A and B are shown apart, each in its own frame.
Chain A
Amino acid sequence: MNVIVCIKQVPDTTEVRIDPVTKNLVREGVKSIINPFDAYAIEEGVRLKEKFGGKVTAVTMGPPQAEMVLREAISLGCDDAILVSDRAFAGSDTLATGYTLSKAVAKIKDYDLIICGKQAIDGDTAQVGPGVAAMLDIPQITYVRKINDVKDGEITAERSTEEGYEVVQTKLPCLITVVKEINTPRLPSLKGKMKAKSAVIQAWKAVDIEAEPDRIGLKGSPTEVWKIFTPPARAQGQIFQGEAQASVDQLVDSLKGLLY
């Protein structure tokens, strides 16, 4: 069973701050991390390999420094890592990113399953996974919380819904996106860390994946950011302190017309 895991390096959005004076995004001191949901994707890929054999290949599209998350993926048990990086990819929206990753997957060729995190925390779109599946014309199961079974060229999995879950079966090769509930990722082993240090990361450019110039980067991206602004600050709230009953009475009074 050969698995491809698509991962992304993201700024740790919990550390991103707005400068109160200039109202600009301040990224000073913000670390680059592996997208948290992708850690679950890696872990699931490695577990499948441990159960069924085969190998796990981690793929990322990003600037050269995104190599860091690929080394992390190797330390966590991935066998191969591919960095899809080219200045021509800059400015890609989800459509262009989906296309680029699908071309990289097509070059890897030999795979049964693609695993992605459900979304990346910087963009929060959840669009790239299904986009890759659609480009490759393979089925998808999004928001997978559990893989029940993989056999006879089919995968059965539980797909989370707003109300609970559905048990869904589809044919391999397919793409799944995973939620946090699916597993608890392991920590890198010492051996894994050693391997990550010396691993050779393959680097693929646009020509290597035979990407059409019109479908990548800015040119292949129908959407553009028109304006960026800081959300309006919340007004200073009313805080009640002191005796509990009095606070409760005051609070409930304030909510008149809103809740009753």
Chain B
Amino acid sequence: MSGITVYKDKCIGCSLCVKTCPFDAITLVDKKAVIDLDKCTLCSSCVEACRKTNAIEIIRETTRTPDIEKYKGVWVFVEQKRGVVQPVAFELLGKARELADKLDVEVAAVLLGHNVKEKAQELIERGADTVYVADDPKLEHFLDEPYARILANLIRKHRPEILLSPATSIGRSVVSRVAVQLRVGLTADCTALDVNLDERFLLQTRPAFGGNIMATILSRHHRPQLATVRHKVMKELPPDLSRKGRIDALTFDRSFFTSRTKVLEVVDSVMATVNITEANVIVSGGRAMGGAANFKMLEDLAGVLNGAVGASRAAIDEGWLPYAHQVGQTGKTVCPKVYIACGISGQIQHLVGMQSSDIIIAINRDASAPIFSVANYGIVGDIFEVVPLLTKKFKQVV
């Protein structure tokens, strides 16, 4: 029977589980843990906390993909926009290559779009052994229904064990539908991936509770194992022009392309220098910026470093920049190589959106601002003095 059990004979009443439970579902009764099943979500935090004593266990009975051992290979769903392969696709291919080599299987890329055929070779150079291409005018714009239908069809036919997709607005939308169609597990927004070679399952690590904890998720009994993966976390392979691979140009029956949804217009309002999820460097401003016009100073600094401009919620709510620039819990989660926070105090809602950046630089007048606690480097000073000096200095050296 599936469920959670406390072994009373093993429980030592240490109350670690009580403190750990995110849902307040555990109390001590006569020095033994008792779980309120109305509150428990079986999140397994307590099992983890009790690992030394091993008094709590979750038993799961689950369904299983038939012929599970026949699923082989690591796939990448390649995101393209207007025929341009997005950089995150190369990052995923790099990771897929590493996982596939450990598992001793092949890497395949799935490329859907219009006028994208000639991009297939590049995917081979970046690590793919096979590229499945569906090139059709009907696939020009991303549409959930045909994209999900084609992906699910290819998976049913070729049975890969793993499919990686970017955790972008497109990736998250389409793969969620694919997971339902195949009735398999999907783990969102992974920041680390590895494989267990004994049982060939994918260890999918992701932040949870706003990045306060990390959880490793797995799907033991279902194939393929689907994961969306965060930008800028995995390392791409340099192009290897000598790599050989197979390009499989697919044709589909018209019924595959039907969609109840149509795209009427695509508006790229966000300047290239602003796509903060793809940027290697982000220069962000907070409330202390004082007004929209002052962001020119951050654009200048971002310009020198080939970066994008971001903002805290406070600055967005003031209307100084459009919402697309917002970093933080109700905005975007970013992880650039360098994040420069200018006049941002560093409330937790902002930190959860940027604390996984490689290097964080904080500039703030208040030496006790919480942003300094996550910063690798900091300057205590007036942003209006420091930022222009920084721009000038970088101009000299970059």
Q: Report which of A237, A244, A254 forms a contact with B386, defined as CB distance below 8 A.
A: A244
| Complex A-B, nearest 5 residue pairs according to Cβ-Cβ distance, in ascending order | A222-B185, A91-B42, A130-B176, A13-B210, A125-B188
Question: Which residues of B approach A to under 8 Å, CB–CB?
Answer: 2-3, 16, 19-24, 37-45, 48-49, 58, 60-63, 81, 141, 144-145, 148, 168-170, 172-174, 176-177, 179-181, 183-189, 203, 207-222, 259-270, 275, 277-278, 281, 305, 323-324, 329-331, 333, 337-338, 347-349, 352, 355, 359-362, 367, 372, 374-382, 385-386, 389-390, 393-394, 397-398
Tell me whether A168 is interfacial, beta carbon within 8 Å. yes
How many whole Å from B39's CB to the nearest CB in chain A?
Answer: 5
Chain B residues within 8 Å of A255, by CB: 338, 359, 377
Interface of B is mostly: mixed
Chain A 86-104 residues near chain B, CB threshold 8 A: 87, 90-95, 98
Cα distance A87–B378 when bound, in Å?
50
Q: List, in ascending order, chain A residues with CB within 8 A of B185's CB.
A: 93, 95, 221-223
Interface contact A224-B219, CB-CB below 8 Å: yes
Docked Cα-Cα span, A47 to B331, in Å, equals 23
Decide: A166 and B263 in contact? CB cutoff 8 A: yes
Q: Chain A 172-191 against B: per-residue CB contact (8 Å), 1 yes, 0 no?
A: 00100001110000000000
Contact pick for B41, options A63, A166, A234, CB 8 Å: A63
* Interface residue A2 (Cβ < 8 Å from any Cβ of B): no
Contacts A98-B180, A122-B208: A162 and B48 contacting too (C-beta < 8 A)? no
Is A239 engaged at the interface, CB distance under 8 Å to the other chain?
yes
Interface contact B372-A142, CB-CB below 8 Å: no
The answer to whether A17 touches B376 (Cβ under 8 A) is no
Q: Does A205 contact B (CB under 8 A)?
A: no
Contact residue among B2, B40, B187, B323 (Cβ-Cβ distance under 8 Å from A180): B323
Chain B residues, CB < 8 A from A128 = 176
A252 touches B390 (CB 8 A): yes
Q: Are A165 and B267 CB-contacts (below 8 A) given A90-B40, A95-B179, A225-B217?
A: yes
* New A-B contacts (18) at CB < 8 Å, excluding given A98-B180, A221-B62, A228-B44: A13-B352, A24-B49, A27-B21, A27-B22, A37-B330, A91-B41, A95-B179, A124-B210, A124-B333, A125-B188, A139-B260, A218-B61, A219-B60, A231-B214, A247-B381, A258-B337, A259-B305, A260-B394
State whether A25 and B172 are in contact (beta carbons under 8 Å apart), knowing that A14-B349, A63-B23 are contacts in the complex.
no
> How far, in whole Å, are A122 and B390 apart by their CA atoms in the complex?
37
Given A164-B270, A218-B42, A229 and B214 contact (CB-CB distance below 8 Å): yes
A249 within 8 A of B: yes
A234-B323 in contact (CB<8A): no
A 206-247 contacts with B by CB, 8 A: 214, 217-231, 234-235, 237-241, 244-245, 247
Binding site for B on A (CB under 8 A): 11, 13-14, 16-19, 22, 24-28, 30, 36-37, 63-65, 87, 90-95, 98, 121-131, 133-135, 139-143, 145, 156, 159-171, 174, 179-181, 214, 217-231, 234-235, 237-241, 244-245, 247-249, 251-252, 254-256, 258-260
Tell me which residues across on chain B come within 8 A of A252, comparing CB atoms. Answer: 390, 393-394, 397
Decide: B22 and A25 in contact? CB cutoff 8 A. Answer: yes
Write the nearest CB–CB distance from A199 to chain B, whole angstroms.
Answer: 21
Question: Which B-chain residue is minimally distant from A254 (CB atoms)?
Answer: B377
Chain A residue numbers with a CB within 8 Å of B329 are: 13-14, 36, 121
On whether the beta carbons of B219 and A223 are closer than 8 Å, the reply is: yes
> B372: which A residues are within 8 A, CB to CB?
237, 239
Q: How far is the CA of A25 from the CA of B380 in the complex (A)?
A: 32
State the CA gap A214–B380 with chains docked (Å).
58
**Contact, CB under 8 Å: A139 / B261:** yes
- Chain B residue at smallest Cβ distance from A130: B176
In the bound assembly, the distance between CA atoms of A161 and B221 in angstroms comes to 34
Q: Is the CB of B386 within 8 A of A127?
A: no
Chain B nearest CB: distance from A241 CB in Å?
Answer: 4
Cβ of B189 and Cβ of A251 under 8 Å apart?
A: no
Question: Contacts A63-B38, A122-B209, A223-B187 hold; do A162 and B270 have CB atoms under 8 A apart?
Answer: yes
Q: Give Cα A112–Cα B333 distance, bound, in whole angstroms.
A: 32
Contact partners of A170 in chain B: CB under 8 A: 260-262
A13 & B209 in contact (Cβ 8 Å cutoff): yes
A225 to B385 Cα, complex, angstroms? 48
Cβ–Cβ contact B177 & A134, under 8 A: yes
Task: State in angstroms the CA–CA spacing of A169 and B263 once bound together.
Answer: 6
* B214-A228 in contact (CB<8A): yes
Please judge, given known A-B contacts A222-B221, A225-B44, whether A161 and B169 are in contact too, CB under 8 Å. yes
Tell me, in angstroms, the Cα distance from A194 to B207 when the chains sit together.
39
- B361 (CB) vs chain A CBs: closest residue: A251
Q: Which residues does chain B contribute within 8 Å of A166, judged by CB atoms?
A: 141, 263-267
Instruction: Please measure, in the bound complex, the distance between the C-alpha atom of A115 and the C-alpha atom of B325, giving whole angstroms.
Output: 24
Q: How far is the CB of A65 from chain B (nearest CB, A)?
A: 7
Contact present for B183 and A95 (CB under 8 Å):
yes
In contact, A224 and B220 (Cβ under 8 angstroms):
yes
CB of A169 within 8 A of CB of B261, answer yes
Of A14, A22, A131, the contact of B352 (CB 8 Å cutoff): A14
A230 contacts B209, C-beta separation under 8 Å: no
Q: Which of A17, A131, A235 contacts B180 (CB 8 A)?
A: A131
- CB–CB A219/B62 < 8 A: yes
Contact A260 B378 (CB under 8 A): no
Nearest CB in chain A: distance from B375 CB, A: 4
For the complex formed, measure the closest distance between the CB of B4 and the CB atoms of chain A, giving whole angstroms: 8
